[in-house]
Structure 1
Amino acid sequence: MLDMDLTTAFNTTLTFWSAILTVIVSFSLGISISVTYMKTHHKGYYSQNFSLTLILIPSVIAVIILLVGSNVARAFSLAGAFSIARFRSTAGDPKDIAYVFFSMAAGLACGVGLFGYAALFTVLLCVFMFILCKINFGAKKTCSKILKIVIPENMNYQGAFDDILKKYTTNYQLCKVKTTDLGTLFELVYTITMENDKNEKEFIDELRCRNGNLNIVLAMDAAPTDF
């Protein structure tokens, strides 16, 4: 008798068709969020697995909200079940974390039955993300790089490239000098800041003419210790 009462109480708050509608709407919103993520990601470099995850998150969150409802006992039971699992992932792009919260918010709105609000804020935020991506909001005009130049041992490296560096960079600093090839060559490592519109090929060509066409490395997003 008690089981029948619980079943009846549950059916009054959750019906089969409302559950199907919730899953369909949340899944559709997840696809919209995932497509926005792929279209706005830098130069199209994105993870396929993460894109699929963004599709599933709203549906999973919506189903959880449906199952929990206002029942405190079910909420604590669900929390205990999730505490068993440990989730491990590498640190990613901060924008990826924002998209995860975006998907969770859409799933929460669908789970409580606010489909109109869920669709409204999903569309608005997707449009805003497209606009910000189109205007390249927050892009830096300069970028920091690592420059490694190999010179012969008979060349005085102090100030040898200052005129070229002043021409192509806004800031530079010699941070490491070491010998190589049994002392027959020197390796100079600079940290430099270049404007994005500077011609890197012309910069390297002028350095090559100065160092006798020995090796030159211009690296992005690296530290001097990497060399």
Structure 2
Amino acid sequence: MSFNDVIKNSVLEGFASTDITPAALAVVLGITTLLGVYLYVVYRLASRNSFYSRDFNKALALMPVITAAIVLAMQSSIVISLGMVGALSIVRFRNAVKDPMDLVFLFWSISIGIVCGARLYSIAIIASLVVTVLVFLLDLVPAGRAPFLLVVNGSDANLEHALDPVVRKYAKSCRVKSRNLTAQGVDLIVELRTSKEAQLVSACAAVPGVESVSLLSHDGEARF
């Protein structure tokens, strides 16, 4: 027997056809379904999106079952496994994942299906519990407060010099992000951090030459 025959036989033995009994199939799909429902509940509790997508959450619950069925089919025959790889290689997903946490839940959902399809139920259960604890535990970590944006419109081209001491009195780490000088006056955008929002706006509005003042905040990520 040549070396190529040994390799061929070992590969074929590794993908030897295995009979999947109805009882084994019911156990795999049953446990996968329970974990999918568990993932559905966790995503609903952990989701903080303004527009909660129920269809996306249902897809998360259904994906483990489908993935587990595919893994079971691939275990049964090398022909099916090769055909499945070829079929899945041409699939293209066009929907963009806007929230990074949605990507985490998608990968979690697929992982449950793969691990349960391999009949490693303890790994799927323990990993799901650990990920759940991390999801809610990391939410308790205090995040830095995002800076404010002070937008000032004035009729005086030298408004910035008069406005600077007032802003520094009520704010810290202020920095001019934009200066727009026009024939009608000047527009300033200042990035700052303050805990006295109302006093800052009132003091800036009282500066001679200021026509309008706006203080903007956002819920995005803060960079340090």
TM-score by length of 1: 0.75
Q: 1:184 and 2:184 equivalent?
A: yes
Partner of 1:173: 175
Deviation at 1:43, TM superposition (A): 6.7
Residues 158-201 of structure 1: CA distance to partner in whole angstroms, max 9, x if unpaired?
Answer: 32222343244432222332245xx33321122x1426xx2433
Instruction: Name structure 2 gaps, 5 residues minimum.
Output: 1-15
Question: Residues 176, 101 of structure 1: CA spacing in aligned structure 2 closer, same or farther, 3 A cutoff?
Answer: same
Question: Residues 53, 18 of structure 1: CA spacing in aligned structure 2 closer, same or farther, 3 A cutoff?
Answer: same
Q: Distance in 2 between the 1:13 and 1:145 partners?
A: 64
Runs (4+) off by over 6 Å: none
Deviation at 1:21, TM superposition (A): 2.8
Q: How do 1:65-214 and structure 2 match up within 5 A?
A: 65-69=71-75, 71-133=77-139, 135=140, 137=141, 139-140=143-144, 142-153=145-156, 156-179=158-181, 183-190=183-190, 192-194=191-193, 198-210=195-207, 212=210, 214=212
Question: Residues 130, 100 of structure 1: CA spacing in aligned structure 2 closer, same or farther, 3 A cutoff?
Answer: same
Residues 25-77 of structure 1: CA distance to partner in whole angstroms, max 9, x if unpaired?
Answer: 21221222232233223476543333222212211211111111163322221
Letter in 2 for 1:188: L
8 Å Cα contact 1:148/1:189 also seen in 2:
yes
Q: Distance in 2 between the 1:74 and 1:63 partners?
A: 12
Q: Distance in 2 between the 1:201 and 1:47 partners?
A: 37
Question: Residues 212, 159 of structure 1: CA spacing in aligned structure 2 closer, same or farther, 3 A cutoff?
Answer: closer
Partner of 2:26: 20
SS of residue in 1 equivalent to 2:125: helix
Partner of 2:45: 39
Deviation at 1:206, TM superposition (A): 2.8
Letter in 1 for 2:188: L
2:218 to 195, 217, 220: 220
8 Å Cα contact 1:61/1:111 also seen in 2:
yes
Q: Distance in 1 between the 2:97 and 2:169 partners?
A: 37
Question: Residues 21, 92 of structure 1: CA spacing in aligned structure 2 closer, same or farther, 3 A cutoff?
Answer: same
Partner of 1:5: none
Instruction: Name structure 1 gaps, 5 residues minimum.
Output: 1-8, 223-227
Deviation at 1:94, TM superposition (A): 2.1
Question: Residues 129, 219 of structure 1: CA spacing in aligned structure 2 closer, same or farther, 3 A cutoff?
Answer: closer
Q: Distance in 2 between the 1:185 and 1:59 partners?
A: 63
Q: Distance in 2 between the 1:172 and 1:91 partners?
A: 34
Query: Identity rate of aligned residues, in percent?
Result: 24
SS of residue in 2 equivalent to 1:92: coil
TM-score by length of 2: 0.75
